[in-house]
Structure 1
Amino acid sequence: MTASSFARLGVSWIVVACAAVVILLLSVAWVRPALAACKRASSTGIGAVAFFYGANVQAERFEPFDTVVIEPDSGFDPRAHTAHCPNWYAYVSVGEVTKERAYYAQMPKTWFAGSNAAWSSTVVDQSASGWPAFFVDQIIKPLWERGYRGFFLDTLDSYQLVAKTDAERMQQQAGIGAVLRELKARYPQARLILNRGFEILPQVHDQVAAVAFESLFGRWDQANQRYDEVPGNDREWLLAQAREIHERYSLPVISIDYCPPEDEACRRQIVQKISTLGIVPYVADGGLQTIGMSHSIIKDAEPLTKVSLTR
């Protein structure tokens, strides 16, 4: 454009054009760091994880993490925080339901197989006809529409509270498999993290992004409301599960451990112990009501090697 052309536009247009250029440059300056930061996650797509079930989700405080699991009933809107780095996962209970959930009243009472007194919840019969479709329509679909693309599936072992024979356990496991297949059939892009569910992995491992378990070193005793150290035998059993998941399915493994929220030394020590084993760590309070500790940036987990732990 020549000088005479600018003259024809007038001074006001020149000012507007210059302002637009400045705004564009500033926008790029702001966006580029966010885009770069969001690429921190490892090739597993999990990276540094956090689990937070508190009511007040302050998105900016989770920027050091790559994957954050939150309680969707908190009212948090992941669509309003796409500039922040974490991939937002919604907590979803598969094996149990509480009366506080909006969908509880819509569930036929014939689907209720028992109770879990420690958490004041009801165990759901995974073999119930119509349960997989209900789970996707009434639980996953509303969350998907709210912007969630990842789901942390909890209480996958709760059927063991009510299934007493091998045949009953196999029936419940088949039901959970049907739930996950229905979910992925409807939402193929959904990313799933399982909490335990070791028995169903052979039939669903290709549907999940990672497997988590709780309490490798520090645990929370819900019934007695106290923190405890994990017995050596329990830890070795979990490590055997972790090795199999790594070796057979090449999936990242996450350990969620617990320390008193004021004990930072405990959290740091356990994070280091878990990381050394090639497992993705997260350590927080027993109710996951505070922001705990992982790694700001965590490298891909190395395959687990044989470790010797002191009993």
Structure 2
Amino acid sequence: MKVVKFLFCVVVALAAFWPSIGKVQASLVNPLKGAKTYKIFYNAPNKRMLSQLATYDFVIIEPYHYNATKIQQLQAKGTKVYGYISTMEAASWNQELMKRFAAKDFFYRGGKKVHYAEWDSYLMDITSVHYRGILMEEIKKHIVEKGFDGIFLDTVGDIDNEHTGSVLLQQRQGMKTFLQGIQKKYPNLSLIQNWGFATLKSTTAPYVDAIMWEGFHYKSVARDEWSLNRIRDLHALRKQYEIEVLTVSSAEKEKSTLLAKQNGFIHFHTNRGYDAW
């Protein structure tokens, strides 16, 4: 009995000095487990759209278009809500955000900023403490204070696509530090990573609840060696970390959807992009 009483006292003491322990334990359960449907929509919603968004198990949306009231309306129907944050790129359209960046926050190649003309965005340096700090401020203002359930971390795939050697390792470490910072400050926030399969496997898997595979088209995936290897990797990571896999197609709807479901992935199809309803 003395041992039992001692252990009880220890638990009580830990609860007093570590009030967030329950939250940490709760975060171990993947909130996307069992989800079957989701939608990505980055434009401003009207009442009809808001009502229809609430029919999905979870949605990925642009937080700039929403306030706390709208988020609560979605959650009241049981829908989990994830807000978009670009991690490795900064878009020129967001001038308010661009003004806050320092020169050291951008990634340079040959002394010049790396610019993506298609998106009019710039490659960022996730190893910059200042840059990570700005991202954390954005998360607080647009994700946490509005009551989102989680974050959709876009452009993580740039780490694998743009970097090699020691720079690749540094950028992965920067991303790890960033995710650890989110986990420490906001342990209840769920995280979804977009692309970056090698970075997921080597670095970020312990910190995210899901990874998204855009361009999951039957013709380019079903018999492609690289894709089949990634599918095998994802099955292993799901088993080890209970990560969910989200797939997106814009072609071959039936075949792409079936392939995703055969692998236990959660699929979304659109041939209109993410801005059109």
Tell me, in whole angstroms, the C-alpha distance in 1 between the residues paired with 2:170 and 2:241.
23
Is 1:277 equivalent to 2:263 in the alignment? yes
Q: 1:106 to 1:151 in 2, by over 3 A?
A: same
CA offsets, 1:89-139, max 9 Å, x none?
1011101010222322101122111222232210101111322222112x1
CA offsets, 1:136-155, max 9 Å, x none?
12x10012112212111110
Is 1:157 equivalent to 2:147 in the alignment? no
Which residue is 1:88 aligned to?
81
Percent of matched pairs sharing the same residue: 21
CA RMSD of aligned residues (A): 2.4
Larger radius of gyration: 1
| CA positional deviation for 1:44 | 1.1
Q: Please, what TM-score do these two structures have when normalized by structure 1?
A: 0.68
Is 1:97 equivalent to 2:87 in the alignment? no
Q: Which runs of 5+ in 2 are unaligned?
A: 1-29, 108-113
Tell me, in whole angstroms, the C-alpha distance in 1 between the residues paired with 2:162 and 2:45.
35
Which residue is 2:220 aligned to?
230
Q: 1:210 to 1:151 in 2, by over 3 A?
A: same
Tell me, in whole angstroms, the C-alpha distance in 1 between the residues paired with 2:34 and 2:150.
11
| CA positional deviation for 1:45 | 5.7
Contact 2:136 2:182 in 1 (8 A): yes
CA offsets, 1:137-194, max 9 Å, x none?
2x1001211221211111002134543x410100010001111111111111101111
Q: How does 1:71-86 map to 2 (within 5 A)?
A: 71-75=62-66, 77-86=70-79
Q: How does 1:147-296 map to 2 (within 5 A)?
A: 147-160=147-160, 162-163=162-163, 165-201=164-200, 202-217=202-217, 229-230=219-220, 232-233=223-224, 234-259=226-251, 266-285=252-271, 287-290=273-276
Q: 1:241 to 1:53 in 2, by over 3 A?
A: farther
Name the aligned partner's letter for residue 72 of structure 1: P
Which residue is 2:119 aligned to?
119
Tell me, in whole angstroms, the C-alpha distance in 2 between the residues paired with 1:146 and 1:257.
30
How many residues get paired?
Answer: 233
Contact 2:31 2:190 in 1 (8 A): no
Q: Which runs of 5+ in 1 are unaligned?
A: 1-40, 219-228, 260-265, 292-311
SS at match of 2:77: coil
Q: Please, what TM-score do these two structures have when normalized by structure 2?
A: 0.75
Tell me, in whole angstroms, the C-alpha distance in 1 between the residues paired with 2:254 and 2:37.
14
Tell me, in whole angstroms, the C-alpha distance in 1 between the residues paired with 2:32 and 2:90.
34
SS at match of 1:122: strand
Tell me, in whole angstroms, the C-alpha distance in 2 between the residues paired with 1:236 and 1:81.
36
| CA positional deviation for 1:62 | 2.1
Contact 2:105 2:130 in 1 (8 A): no
Which residue is 1:49 aligned to?
38
Tell me, in whole angstroms, the C-alpha distance in 2 between the residues paired with 1:153 and 1:195.
6
Contact 1:60 1:84 in 2 (8 A): no
